[in-house]
Amino acid sequence: MEKPAVAAAEFDQLVREHQAHNDKFFNGDPDLDAWVHDDGVTLHGGFGFTSKGWEDVRKGLVTASGKLSEGQMTFIPLGGQIAGDLAYLVGFEEGTVRVDGGERRPMKLKVTMVLRRQDGKWRGVHRHGEMLRS
């Protein structure tokens, strides 16, 4: 069954917003405003850490983004859905990035993002990012 045009347009906008977040994150900016700042936020990070609650998640995002620079990562959606003020995205992020100042190298992650609409903007409440090995 196809999504109605309005739902498809809203989903496409959500994907674009996630890509804009990635454009910052993989270039060293944790883009903290893209997240809900409460005790329920969670993160399974691509560098092997797990965090719960805004203070721990904030630290994880700052640490992870601080390892990254010169990233050109593209989000490739596999699926997702918007249901009221909750949404999720599932897909891959792939491209090239510097890690810890080293040479640019290919990177591919499988990613699940759960988002909540807050003050009219989509903000992350959970991310599971896992690096894929070649």
Nearest Cα neighbor of 125 from 78, 88, 90, 93 is 88
Q: Give the pLDDT score at 110.
A: 96
**122, pLDDT greater than 60:** yes
Q: What's the pLDDT score for residue 53?
A: 98
The helix/strand/coil state of 4 is coil
Write the pLDDT tens digit of every residue in 19-41: 999 999 999 999 999 999 999 99
Q: Mean of the pLDDT values across residues 116-129?
A: 96
Question: Looking at residues 32-56, what average pLDDT do you find?
Answer: 95
Domain limits at 36?
Answer: 5-131
Tens-place pLDDT, residues 64-96: 999 999 999 999 999 999 999 999 999 999 999
We report the CATH number of the domain holding residue 97 as: 3.10.450.50
Residue 1, pLDDT > 60, answer: no
Mean pLDDT computed over 89-114: 97
| C-alpha 32 chain-centroid distance | 11
- pTM value is 0.91
Spatial distance between the Cα atoms of 129 and 119, rounded to a whole number of angstroms: 26
- The number of folded domains in the chain is 1
Considering just the CA atoms, what is the radius of gyration of the chain in Å? Answer: 15
